[in-house]
Structure 1
Amino acid sequence: MFDNTKLAMFRGQETPFYYYNLELLNNTLDAAKKAADKRNFHIHYALKANFNDRILSVIQSKGFGADCVSGNEVQKSIDVGFSADQITFAGVGKSDKEIKTALKHHIFAFNVESIQELEVINELAALEGVKANVSLRINPNVDAHTHHYITTGLDENKFGVPNSELEKAAAVISACANINLIGLHFHVGSQITDMNVFKSLCVKVNEWKNWFEERGTYIKVINVGGGLGVDYQNPDENPIPDFEAYFEVFDKFLERNAQQEVHFELGRALVAQCGSLVSRVLYTKSGAKKNFLILDAGMTELMRPALYQAYHKIERVGADLKDELLNYEVVGPICESSDSFGKEVELPISKRGDLVVIRTAGAYGEVMASRYNLREEIRYVFST
């Protein structure tokens, strides 16, 4: 809860800005690493969730790998100290330039998402005189039961090689002299809180691993992606996801031998709760049907509510439990009707100049900020 201590800390800061609690970040990373290490699991941090330099520095210092979805993310990982042999590169549309960047650094593996991509990586690796490690991303057709914009594992999604093309993919891999198949890659979606989804994924992974091994192809790496959700409704009660329960599902239901490695690509679960967007009330306005709280932060600073209709808990900083409450639509200054953080949000009656915090914004917040309406670049503040 953002009490008067935070009010004093934030009062002199120019808003809007992202506030990062590094103590919570460290505690979250330690919990994830402890649960993974006891099962000999490997974690690659998904940079797309948050690539703030200081956040990355803390994550890298814990010994995590990096999961990248662009050439610039690969380069950024190298620049901040991630070991190249712990970097994976995923994405359905890797450009030649991006592939060459990853080849130059001899990364751990490309997560390949189409047959044509296999052929392109093979050609570019041959030109560079190297052999590229690849994991074949298979679309497992598992429903994550989340928002359709963040579901990635169904046949209708653009991600991964469909089951119908696996025979052809296997043949192409055998024919390519400059790629080395080291593993299989799966990812079914994001913000998953039902552990049964991951159990269903394990069943599919077992089927496809066995399919390859029955045909004489040994699979060293089983990469099951990420997707573990966080509690947006109750960030104070559940600041750290239940990593024990998450990893236990895979430990129990994933079939593998002692030589096979299990890899994860976690983003949101590691950084979401440590970040909040702090804003200031510019105006209050009462209409015929609703009361508006107009902030100096908008969809340019936090896109998720406009893009996904995502829920974020909204609080007035330093509010007193005795304060009278009122329902507001909390909106930003951007010239778009979709620039709204929440409707019917019950808050203490607020006035111009009050500070408001939007919680659980450490993932897909700062990284999705834009300069639309020629907005200023977002600032950030850290506490340890």
Structure 2
Amino acid sequence: MSLIPQLNGFSIKNNNWHAEDVSLANIAQEFGTPTYVYSRKALTDAFNAYEAACLRPNGDRRARVHYAMKANSNLAILNVFAKLGAGFDIVSAGELARVLAAGGSPDKVVFSGVGKSKAEMVAALQAGVKCFNLESIPELTRLNEVAGSLGIKARISLRVNPDVDPKTHPYISTGLKGNKFGIAYDDVIATYQAAAKMPFCEIVGIDCHIGSQITEISPYLDALDRVLHLITALNGVGIKIRHLDIGGGLGISYTNETPPAITDFANTLLNHIEAKGYGHLEVLFEPGRSLVGNAGLLLTTIEYLKPGETKNFCIVDAAMNDLMRPAMYEAYHAIVSINDKSASPEVTYDIVGPICESGDWLGRDRPLKVAQGDQLAILSAGAYGFTMSSNYNTRGRAAEVMVDGSTVHLIRERESIESLFANEKILPA
């Protein structure tokens, strides 16, 4: 039996899987496959779970959510969060353009990332972003020069590498000494002192992000204590910090993981900050996966069932170019048949796609009751699903739809094959 995570927005009704009030079978029939399906209710409920901790009963704001949009950057999803009052955490000028196109406010944008180009800095400064999260002295120097050339003062925060083990996959760990992210803990004070001497940089905050898919609170508290110690030390040398960005990374349930509930998690960190005497700071959360991960799934159709001597293969029309996480991280996604197949025999399959790579698999050793032509749902695919997809093997990327109650909105059309090479040129004769 496949392990099914707890989901909001997706459920089984009359033995058939639904997104809110719409059957997944009807979505597959209308829009084809592969198709990503999102639940507006699930997105909204996850955001409101953070807000429950961020807002005090009297309406005062303890903290603000800045959605880490690298998890899923579809304009409709950004617009849902913008309407709810979210800020955004971006890592490129392209993401900034998406925020603005989706109705997001630039003064609620935090620009993170280790490799910001001059052009990206110019775009962000001219848009008026809230803050740049900087990760090295060379980046700090460049931003000061770019801001000076525009006659604009850049609001900055330095990203601290606290050397705390987040106990997650090494590819998504970002707060250890061996990671490329952040400024080494022992170098932070000196780097802030260098920043304080730069005429076109205004110090406003301090930032820390230790990784992704973290399912325990203790690593956050360890990192938080180290950063709070730095704030005290900075105050001692005359550098005042106005906001504390504690990053994101809260995990979700893909199988039987038990991450803390969002509101409990956020309350624990905020209460800890207040108990340590730093309740006056503006606090920023940068959640990504915990907002969108279980709010989306990937629909796919079975092309062939191929029995083998040691493995049975369920070959589907989705592939590693549509959902990269299994091939990249050996990540587990629950996979279910969307229709009632209780009368069919159960067979254990590897679910694989048509890409010409042995690494093109979506699930291994999954017991399923299915037939050729049936549809499957690959669950918990709302984060790092479409946003990491590619056109490998000249495959058009999937369609995306959002369900809102009984209404289905097409929020991204399926790519046509012709569009994939529309910008390419053949050499002249």
Q: TM-score, normalised by structure 1?
A: 0.95
Aligned position for 1:249? 268
1:8-47 matches, cutoff 5 A = 8-38=26-56, 40-47=62-69
Q: Deviations over 1:92-117 (max 9, x none)?
A: 00011111110111110000000111
Q: Deviations over 1:314-370 (max 9, x none)?
A: 00111344543221111111111111112111211x221100010011110011111
Moved more, 323-332 or 362-371: 323-332
Moved more, 80-89 or 62-71: 80-89
Is residue 2:402 matched to residue 1:382?
yes
CA distance in 2, matches of 1:74, 1:9: 31
Specify the code of the residue in structure 2 equivalent to 1:204: R
Aligned position for 2:193? 171
CA distance in 2, matches of 1:170, 1:53: 36
2:308 to 279, 283, 287: 287
Aligned position for 2:136? 114
Is residue 2:377 matched to residue 1:357?
yes
Aligned position for 1:273? 294
Aligned position for 2:204? 182
Aligned position for 1:312? 333
CA distance in 2, matches of 1:59, 1:109: 19
Contact 2:160 2:207 (C-alpha < 8 Å) held by counterparts? yes
Contact 1:241 1:269 (C-alpha < 8 Å) held by counterparts? no
CA gap 1:323/1:210 in 2 versus in 1, 3 angstroms: farther
Moved more, 373-382 or 131-140: 373-382
Q: Deviations over 1:74-98 (max 9, x none)?
A: 1221222211111000000001111
Q: Deviations over 1:149-186 (max 9, x none)?
A: 00000000000011232243123212200000101000
Specify the code of the residue in structure 2 equivalent to 1:78: L
Aligned length: 380
Q: Shift of residue 41 of structure 1?
A: 1.0
Specify the code of the residue in structure 1 equivalent to 2:119: K
Aligned position for 1:327? 348
Q: Shift of residue 31 of structure 1?
A: 2.0
3-state SS of 1:343 partner: strand
Contact 1:198 1:249 (C-alpha < 8 Å) held by counterparts? no
Contact 1:49 1:364 (C-alpha < 8 Å) held by counterparts? yes
CA distance in 2, matches of 1:340, 1:25: 28
3-state SS of 1:44 partner: strand
Moved more, 178-187 or 2-11: 2-11
3-state SS of 1:373 partner: coil
Q: Deviations over 1:199-238 (max 9, x none)?
A: 2122112111112112111110100000111111169xx9
Structure 2 segments unaligned to the other structure (5+ residues): 1-10, 17-22, 405-429
Q: TM-score, normalised by structure 2?
A: 0.85
Q: Deviations over 1:261-300 (max 9, x none)?
A: 1111011100111110000000111111010000000011
CA distance in 1, matches of 2:102, 2:316: 34
Query: Cα RMSD (Å) of the superposition?
Result: 1.7
CA distance in 2, matches of 1:383, 1:87: 27
After the TM superposition, list the runs of 4 or more consecutive aligned residues in structure 1 that deviate by more than 6 angstroms. none
3-state SS of 1:374 partner: coil
Contact 1:89 1:110 (C-alpha < 8 Å) held by counterparts? yes
Moved more, 27-36 or 215-224: 27-36
CA distance in 1, matches of 2:342, 2:260: 28
Aligned position for 1:124? 146
Specify the code of the residue in structure 1 equivalent to 2:269: F
2:216 to 178, 194, 214: 194
2:363 to 336, 342, 346: 342
CA gap 1:122/1:358 in 2 versus in 1, 3 angstroms: same
Moved more, 158-167 or 106-115: 158-167
Contact 2:248 2:285 (C-alpha < 8 Å) held by counterparts? yes
Is residue 2:347 matched to residue 1:297?
no
Identity, in percent, stands at 37
Moved more, 27-36 or 300-309: 27-36
CA distance in 2, matches of 1:18, 1:128: 42
Q: Deviations over 1:123-149 (max 9, x none)?
A: 000000000000010100010000000
3-state SS of 2:182 partner: coil
Q: Shift of residue 241 of structure 1?
A: 6.6
Contact 1:141 1:154 (C-alpha < 8 Å) held by counterparts? yes
Contact 2:114 2:135 (C-alpha < 8 Å) held by counterparts? yes
CA gap 1:200/1:282 in 2 versus in 1, 3 angstroms: same
Aligned position for 1:59? 81
Aligned position for 2:8? none
Contact 1:119 1:172 (C-alpha < 8 Å) held by counterparts? no
Moved more, 252-261 or 114-123: 252-261
Structure 1 segments unaligned to the other structure (5+ residues): none
Specify the code of the residue in structure 1 equivalent to 2:245: N
CA gap 1:353/1:192 in 2 versus in 1, 3 angstroms: same
CA distance in 2, matches of 1:321, 1:150: 39
